[in-house]
Amino acid sequence: MNQLEQLKAFTTVVADTGNFLQLAQFTPRDATTNPSLILKAVQSPDYAPLLQETVARLKGRPLDEIVDAVLVRFGLEILKVVPGRVSTEVDARLSFDSKASVARARRLMGMYEAQGIGRDRVLIKVASTWEGIQAARELERDGIHCNLTLLFSFCQAVACGEAGVQLISPFVGRIYDWYKKSAGAAWDEQAHAGANDPGVKSVASIFNYYKKFGIATEVMGASFRNIGQIQALAGCDLLTISPELLAQLQAAEAPLTRALDAEAALQSEHVHLHLDEAAFRFALNQDAMATEKLAEGIRLFAADAVKLDHMIESL
């Protein structure tokens, strides 16, 4: 078996793309999207008619409603290919507004339900700010399941677990990027590979904490830079992987072994934590990497949301 097939024995494989025409060759169970991936997709000639048709159908409606309809349209196409769930993201510009995030999430889910898609097949992506986590807490109570994204720190994971969210997406590659850039010329790539990669270590720690204390929230490693990071997280609940790295795994034949194990996690040295808002904000503030990458991630997704707005307005 190739490494993609081997990985599927340990971990649920998710495709990280808005390009639904690529999906079938990798047979992932789920798929995730974000504003940047959708923006990239709609710029392709393959998807231009889909964008134009959706915009034309909703001409005269508020811009944010048209944008959500485009996101859901991509989600509907993805769900024709994958047997599981699609993740669709709330506008990143609402990352610090719980009430608005809840309203937008409900509208997205309503659009899916109007097309006959049940809530079990959709995850609403929300940034892992304090406000986003509280929005997810409310949505989960209403049976709308959430994927908490832009997650870089242990405190974010603890708060998500306490909020009872369905799934979190810790960003392996962006954590790695920060530490590599911070180290500069002193960075030793070999010494920070595999299980020693700072992004891998972050996800492994969260996975072990959740499993030790019976926290049901699913852990889905995301944002990979190389297949070594993926191999080092074999056994994680889910991994969301770009088509480029899925293809590399498909081409690799070397044996792949389980790296994370729920039984072994029971022996980890974690202690159970509770974080109220003040404790959460202070812990996040003390983590320079997480503070910087969370802010940067929101800015980047917000910028791409603005570009998508402009593209739609120009049609």
pLDDT tens digits, 90-114? 999 999 999 999 999 999 999 999 9
Question: 121 Cβ partners below 8 Å, 6+ apart?
Answer: 79, 84, 85, 86, 112
Q: Give the tokens for residue 128.
A: 């892992």
Local structure of residue 121 (DSSP, 8 states) = G
> What is the mean pLDDT of the segment spanning 64-88?
98
Question: What confidence score (pLDDT) does residue 194 get?
Answer: 97
In three-state secondary structure terms, 238 is: strand
- How far is 233 from 172, CA to CA, in rounded Å? 10
pLDDT tens-digit series, residues 7-21: 999 999 999 999 999
Split at pLDDT 50, 70, 90, the class of 280 is very high
pLDDT digits (tens, 9 = 90+) for 152-199: 999 999 999 999 999 999 999 999 999 999 999 999 999 999 999 999
- On the question of pLDDT at 35 being above 90, the answer is no
Give dist(CA 280, CA 200) in Å, integer.
22
* pLDDT score of 204: 98
Residues 228-269: pLDDT tens digits?
Answer: 999 999 999 999 999 999 999 999 999 999 999 999 999 999
Fold of the domain built from segment(s) 3-313: TIM Barrel (3.20.20)
Q: What is the pTM of this model?
A: 0.98
pLDDT, tens digit, 9 for 90 and up, residues 48-75: 999 999 999 999 999 999 999 999 999 9
Catalytic residues: 125
Domain boundaries along the sequence of the chain: 3-313
**Which residues, in sequence order, are bridge partners of residue 151?**
170
